[in-house]
A and B are shown apart, each in its own frame.
Chain A
């Protein structure tokens, strides 16, 4: 089975860059670390399916030069090849521009059965790229999975949301997103790291994909930020040492605030 894995460090980075005038480096670093983790789980799931059913795993990443780090990691884990969409015109793309380009890039992978992406629990601003991709590709959306199986041409999964668990079933090809709970990603072996250097990486531009540059980037965005300002930091309120009546003191405070 032919599987496409989306390595999604990049849309997130772009969405944050839109606000870079007022950015804290620390926040960005902590967000990126988490995103890497979900990428690896998506790659791991693809590799597990390949091991069970045969086939090929293609990694697709969209982003500037530094997206190659994520691509190399995926290839060293065992993915077979990669497509890197790298174009300055993409800077500032909103979620729809991102999804349009990804949909086109996925279309370059012949005969794919499954598209796997990480979910975007860490990214409050979007949280729906896989669903939007399914919309553009006209494919079933099997998202937020903590468990995934493929039997013949049927994909089954356990979706976990605030409401609980839903058991899903759809026909391939389909778009899947996985959550943190899906698996424990493998570490790349030394052999894998060496082999990754020889694996093919195709670099494509927006024009290569036949997307009009006007549809992507900051200019193509369907919504815009009017203003961004750092919130006045929360200030520390009262602090007391517990001298045996700490619980009662909290209760008094809550009563004073009309909270109980």
Chain B
């Protein structure tokens, strides 16, 4: 069976959930090989968890340069391994950086690219949800090794045993053409999951009314172990930071459960959350368009409904 390369998405050796989703998707196409581009010693730490999701091999591409330069070390690593392994496909998470890595890799290898797929068939056909989920498109690569970026939350992660045999690979970074990363600041999101990775997202809109009142959104999110999101209207009004914006000019999320509080549901917003599995909406205006796509809607004041829901969730958790 051919190898399928999966670029491990991690932060300082903490493997992100999307990596397990990529490994699960890769098993449909062949035998998954995880590629760890990181500081020395990282692969040894993560190989067991990669094996649990079916990684037969773990390529360790480890050096200080691998971490201290932007994007290109990952492209170099994947291009080098692709040269020897002749993989059936290369899977990368559809994050901002993942899309850049995939784009450059495809340009370098002369391979076709599928961006932001939400599903993959055994023959390599990718399903994309575009125009904010209004259209479903099936595409296929017709040139070279298919390079596919997969949207976090798009494919379900399922466990399967893999040998996770470690193999180290050397790359040399051409520093003259590379960009040095001189410092990093992780997002200060406290203990909340990352927005695009979360299985539950609670978002607030204009109806929340102020930055202080966003507390009511955060409390519900915390009771559910959810990420907090915000509509563009809420961000533009200064209620919540831009990095949490869900919608066309913000993040696209696809969680199991999306709860919209005081969000009218403009196309701009719906484009970023329409592929959520279940949508709950609370809004005072019974004509708010969000209700057209909500599986369960409550017409009422979010300041009454959300705290009550928070309490009910807490009660059930004991």
Q: Interface on A for B, CB 8 Å cutoff?
A: 19, 22, 24, 26-27, 30-31, 34, 94-96, 99, 119, 121-122, 124-129, 131-132, 134-136, 138-144, 159-171, 174, 180-181, 221-231, 233-234, 236-242, 244-251, 253-255, 257, 259-260
The DSSP consensus for interface residues of chain B is mixed
A163 near B299: Cβ-Cβ < 8 Å? no
B191 to chain A, nearest CB (A): 15
* Bound complex: CA A201 to CA B14 (Å): 51
**Contacting residues, chain A, for B242 (C-beta < 8 A):** 180-181
Give the contacting residue for A234; candidates B224, B292, B299, B300; CB below 8 A: B292
Give the contacting residue for A253; candidates B112, B143, B146, B296; CB below 8 A: B296
**Contacting residues, chain A, for B103 (C-beta < 8 A):** 95, 126-129, 131-132, 135
Interface readout for B139-178 with A: 1 if CB under 8 Å, 0 if not? 1111110100000000000000000000000000000111
* Bound complex: CA A127 to CA B188 (Å): 25
B305 near A250: Cβ-Cβ < 8 Å? yes
B311 near A247: Cβ-Cβ < 8 Å? yes
A174 to chain B, nearest CB (A): 7
**Contacting residues, chain B, for A181 (C-beta < 8 A):** 242
Give the contacting residue for A166; candidates B70, B279, B299, B312; CB below 8 A: B70
B11 near A163: Cβ-Cβ < 8 Å? yes
Give the contacting residue for A163; candidates B125, B132, B133, B187; CB below 8 A: B187
Asked whether B250 is an interface residue with its Cβ less than 8 Å from the other chain, the reply is: yes
Given the contacts A162-B194, A163-B11, A167-B182, A241 and B300 also touching, CB distance less than 8 Å:
yes
Stretch from B31-39, B203-211, B251-259 that touches the partner:
B251-259
**Contacting residues, chain A, for B85 (C-beta < 8 A):** none
* Bound complex: CA A170 to CA B179 (Å): 5
Interface readout for B196-207 with A: 1 if CB under 8 Å, 0 if not? 100010000000
Asked whether B138 is an interface residue with its Cβ less than 8 Å from the other chain, the reply is: yes
B194 near A250: Cβ-Cβ < 8 Å? no
A230 near B280: Cβ-Cβ < 8 Å? no
Given the contacts A247-B304, A250-B305, A257 and B278 also touching, CB distance less than 8 Å:
yes
27 inter-chain pairs at a CB distance below 8 angstroms, sorted by A residue, are A22-B135, A34-B248, A34-B249, A96-B107, A125-B130, A127-B96, A127-B103, A127-B116, A141-B179, A161-B95, A168-B70, A169-B179, A170-B179, A222-B112, A222-B113, A222-B144, A223-B140, A223-B141, A226-B138, A226-B140, A236-B297, A237-B297, A240-B298, A242-B301, A247-B311, A250-B309, A259-B278
